[in-house]
């Protein structure tokens, strides 16, 4: 894949609302090539989803976020993948990663209350076969998500140039 075609994805990753015409102007690629690149990427699941990031707290919707570290016994022939799939299919799971270190999986979940998240861990996650242990960290404040600062406006903080 050419570097200019990768630039199409960088632009869309920053703002999914960027129109193909704008992308063509920004990259110098012909419009037809931009449209073909996007369509092919959608079909091949290179582009998985177009997403809007909303700060629900500003709309009065409070959500409890938790980061759960999960220690797992890998299964023969499938390793961590089978248990990971069982976990990431729960609607409470927002993100999930295989990680190095003391724990095997890092799972980000949301709920309406701390009790709801705790119930998910106790009733759905911990009882799963292969789960050896969990540690739950409740997120107290989110400052930045998906590259976006959630409070205030992003400002450039450069030192003044002294000549």
Write the pLDDT tens digit of every residue in 39-72: 999 999 999 999 888 888 889 889 999 999 999 9
Domain ranges of the chain: 3-43, 56-140
CA torsion 117-118-124-129 (nearest 10°) is 130
- Cα distance between residue 122 and residue 14, in whole Å: 37
The position carrying tokens 């299919």 is 89
24, burial (CB in 10 Å: exposed 0-12, middle 13-18, buried 19+): middle
For residue 30, count other CB atoms closer than 10 A to its CB: 10
8 A C-beta contact, residue 60 and residue 90: no
Query: Residues near 163 by Cβ (< 8 Å), separated by ≥ 6?
Result: none
Query: Residue 159: its pLDDT value, please?
Result: 59
The mean predicted confidence, pLDDT, of the chain is 91
Pick 56-140's CATH classification: 3.90.700.10, 3.30.70.920, 3.40.640.10, 2.40.160.20.
3.30.70.920
Q: Describe the crossing of helices 3-14 and 20-27 by its angle, rounded to 10 degrees.
A: 130
Query: Residue 154: its pLDDT value, please?
Result: 54
Query: Residue 49: its pLDDT value, please?
Result: 92
Query: Residue 91: its pLDDT value, please?
Result: 97
- Cα distance between residue 34 and residue 21, in whole Å: 8
pTM of the model: 0.79
pLDDT tens digits, 72-116? 998 888 889 999 999 999 999 999 999 999 999 999 999 999 999
Tell me the pLDDT band of 155, cut-offs 50, 70 and 90.
low
Nearest-5° Cα angle at 149, 113 to 70: 45
Residue 153 has pLDDT above 80, yes or no: no
Using DSSP bridges, classify how beta strands 131-138 and 105-111 pair: parallel, antiparallel or unpaired: unpaired
Query: Residue 157: its pLDDT value, please?
Result: 53
């Amino acid at each position: 894949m050419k570097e200019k075609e990768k630039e199409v994805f960088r632009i869309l990753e920053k703002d999914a609302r960027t129109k193909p015409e704008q992308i063509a102007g920004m990259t110098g690629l012909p419009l037809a090539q931009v449209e073909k690149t996007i369509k092919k990427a959608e079909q091949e699941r290179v582009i998985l989803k177009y997403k809007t990031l909303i700060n629900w707290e500003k709309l009065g919707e409070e959500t409890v976020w938790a980061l759960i570290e999960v220690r797992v016994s890998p299964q023969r022939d499938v390793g961590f993948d089978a248990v990971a799939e069982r976990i990431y299919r729960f609607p409470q799971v927002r993100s999930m990663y295989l990680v190095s270190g003391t724990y095997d999986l890092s799972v980000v979940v949301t709920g309406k209350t701390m009790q709801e998240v705790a119930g998910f861990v106790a009733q759905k996650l911990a009882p799963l076969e292969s789960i050896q242990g969990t540690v739950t960290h409740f997120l107290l404040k989110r400052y930045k998500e998906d590259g976006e600062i959630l409070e205030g406006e992003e400002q450039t903080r450069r030192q003044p140039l002294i000549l």
